Structure 1
């Protein structure tokens, strides 16, 4: 084969990239392509995305290649470029969201009409979403524990090295990297290079302590690799294969795969109840806004929400606490919270974000749909000294620890801090 286009989406890396590796093996020339779709603005993720693309371009140039960047409809731009360079095939990593599947279907149809081959490849997950089926029937696992057993026993594909060389056609214009209206994240710099160094340090120094430390709200004992997994700067398979003595951490990677296979079977997970249980949600725009701004009057909830506002990331335990507070105490629709998370989080994707929100709301895969997270107990257990709260809610820096854990003890009139939105009985 002479020329293959590799269309990058949520797979912005060179290591363990099955589509890129196959293209380099099968074709004389390979054109890595990323299409910026103006219909899908990156928002708070735009600066991170720009850094990811710049790093990917550097990596490809080091191998003699180039990252070609175009703007417009991804299918139309891919086909336009393919015709211009007389490509014989388009390769891409498969994904599970409604948008991704529609794009892949349109691309396959357009390639067929242009007499080009189209191939979808794994790489977004460790185990392909359609690889496992329950023994009792059904197209996907609805409960995590049996999925975990099947997932753990399933054979893995080979982890692939980055290609030594990427040969692109002569005279092909790369295009401009995207600008961003948002400041780059101080905590998360985008790109495979940063991601791989973070992965090495995490696996070397921290992964063995994950089971004991990942719920410590004030500590820095989670991997913070989720933005890099979301953008595909890291291969989840490579991460799993190198996480020696990291069973608890690998289980979290399995949760990621679990929600991807749920989304593949139920693509409207971001809009419709996976399991409708007849909940009646309140409409209260004021309460919703107070929650978004971290002004509910409940310190542990407000700390989590302000961490999201300042870092575009939130500790995993805090995510559970603030989500449960929204749906159980404020009784607001889970979509209000899930959409806000999706907009703000660097790691916000369809499968994990909406799957986890539906889990907390009782409309998803939780086998205990009425489960409530007691935010007071959670604060006492996972932020016992109030360090996490004080870090993100500075109004409470001088407030005694007991009052931080028990908001009804907060003195009236703490400057700038509201009374609790709901009764604390």
Structure 2
């Protein structure tokens, strides 16, 4: 009698190097490639326009790839556990395959799924190392469940072998009679950023090939340059799993050079944050290391920060890039997070929520733990460091090109003067650009006092 298995896609929307699809296809005569639009994700505030549009592209591309192999994607909406059990029953499947994930929500979902399937006599296979390059528990310090400092983690991570990438399946036969909802369309999603990039595995693999053949060699020297934007921009594809982190590491290492080493280090940071969250799921909303902060309630200043109207051009450029593209340069993310949490002394959760509202790569592990790293409540070994936006602008946007690209009011200001427009001759700022909302020295003094550093 023919056998069937379900491949439940989550953050692994790809055919290449997908242990979930490989496991389901290899252990049965037919496979049901299933994606459930999770109602719980929406109620938790993670179903936002930019990620919804990118997801629609990913699902359409995944379905097209499966159809080229004789299959199709089955789409359902609602509770993941309930819908997966229904599909497994309809297909007569005795096995369901899914990727391990690290958030508290994902861990609870997997536990519920295992119990519900077991009650129906169906086995759940949870595959590690699908969402990250290394599984979160692959390297741990002696006597502890996770690394709290990146450098020793990176040493162990670098010395640990990665699994070999898997080929995409040649065929994907789906049992007859399995109903599916229509696929969504990205063009119909209101509220998306006008410069949002397209999603899908084919787009991700093209971007990776272009990166390896172009920008990777200069990455070590250009990764922080705001105007050149010498970054890979692969983070949305890693978030949605249209690219495999393990395959990206393998291919970058195969390319070699200083740029590849610096790039792989950034991929290790992604794994580092995932292993922290796997061990401490509450770090998604609570301080990893409390500093007993009594954050300021400053709604007008926080709104000026969100709108890119702080009066500090490099901060405003970054915040406007976020709204226009649904993406922000990594150096800029650090800069604007430091400005909010330390110069304005506003709770990191305010900034993390805004980022999740707009970032197409908005990821619980990386977003929340990067915000905590900058705020000094996370894993940074220098928790009280403050990034001065003027110093950062001179260093990483020396000619002001990044600012002029995103702050059109200052497009006519030449050279480095664009970073301090309030010092230009005459009292009126160009294009009604705002005065600074805070004096940097006063903000620094307030922060140091609040942290007991005075």
TM-score, normalising length from structure 2?
0.91
Aligned residue for 1:190, secondary structure, equals coil
**How far apart are residue 90 of structure 1 and its match?**
0.9
Give me the whole-angstrom Cα distance separating, in 2, the residues matched to 1:276 and 1:368: 14
Q: Secondary structure at the match of 1:181?
A: coil
Cα drift, residue 184 of structure 1? 7.4
Name the residue aligned to 2:447.
none
Out of 185, 190, 193, the residue aligned to residue 202 of structure 2 is 193
After superposition, residues 17-416 of structure 1 pair within 5 angstroms as 17-41=18-42, 42-43=47-48, 44-122=50-128, 123-135=130-142, 137-179=143-185, 180-183=189-192, 186-243=195-252, 244-245=255-256, 246-410=260-424, 412-414=427-429, 415-416=431-432
The answer on whether the counterparts of 1:299 and 1:393 sit within 8 Å (CA) in structure 2 is yes
- CA distance in 2: counterparts of 1:38 and 1:25, whole angstroms: 30
Deviations 1:25-82 (A, max 9, x none): 1111100000112342321211111000000000011111110001111110110111
Q: Following the alignment from structure 1 to structure 2, what is the Cα–Cα distance between the partners of residues 95 and 107?
A: 13
User: In the aligned structure 1, how far is the partner of 2:195 from the partner of 2:305?
Assistant: 24
CA distance in 1, matches of 2:32, 2:190: 29
**What's the offset of the Cα at 1:130?**
1.1
Q: Which runs of 5+ in 1 are unaligned?
A: none
In structure 2, what is the equivalent of residue 423 of structure 1?
A: 439
Does the 8 A contact of 2:16 with 2:166 survive in 1? yes
Judge conservation of contact 2:8–2:96 (CA < 8 Å) in 1.
Answer: yes
Aligned residues: 424
Conserved in 2, the CA contact under 8 Å of 1:36 and 1:69?
A: yes
Q: 2: distance between equivalents of 1:379 and 1:400?
A: 14
Q: Give the superposition deviation at 1:183.
A: 4.6
* CA RMSD after TM alignment: 1.4
Task: Please tell me whether the aligned partners of residues 48 and 184 of structure 1 are also in contact (alpha carbons under 8 angstroms).
Answer: no
Q: Distance in 1 between matches of 2:193 and 2:222?
A: 28
Please name the residue that 1:7 is paired with.
Answer: 8
Question: Aligned partners of 2:432 and 2:389: how far apart in 1?
Answer: 22
Residue deviations 1:148-201, cap 9 Å, x none?
Answer: 000001121121000111111023333211242345764511100010011001
How many angstroms does 1:356 deviate by?
0.5
Runs of at least 5 residues in structure 2 that lack an aligned partner in the other structure: 442-454
SS in 2 for 1:30: strand
Residue matched to 2:445: none
State whether residues 81 and 113 of structure 2, in contact with CA within 8 Å, keep that contact through their aligned partners in structure 1.
yes
Q: TM-score, normalised by structure 1?
A: 0.97
Q: Counterparts of 1:71 and 1:318 in 2: how far apart (Å)?
A: 36
Distance 1:184 1:381 in 2: 28
State the Cα deviation string for residues 288-339 of structure 1 (Å, max 9, x = none): 1110000001101000000001111001111111000001110000110011
Does structure 1 retain, via aligned residues, the 8 Å contact 2:229–2:329?
Answer: no
What is the CA–CA distance in structure 2 between the aligned matches of 1:242 and 1:68, rounded to whole Å?
31
User: Any idea what the Cα deviations from partners look like across 1:381-423, whole Å, max 9, x if unmatched?
Assistant: 1101111001111001122434322354155432331110101
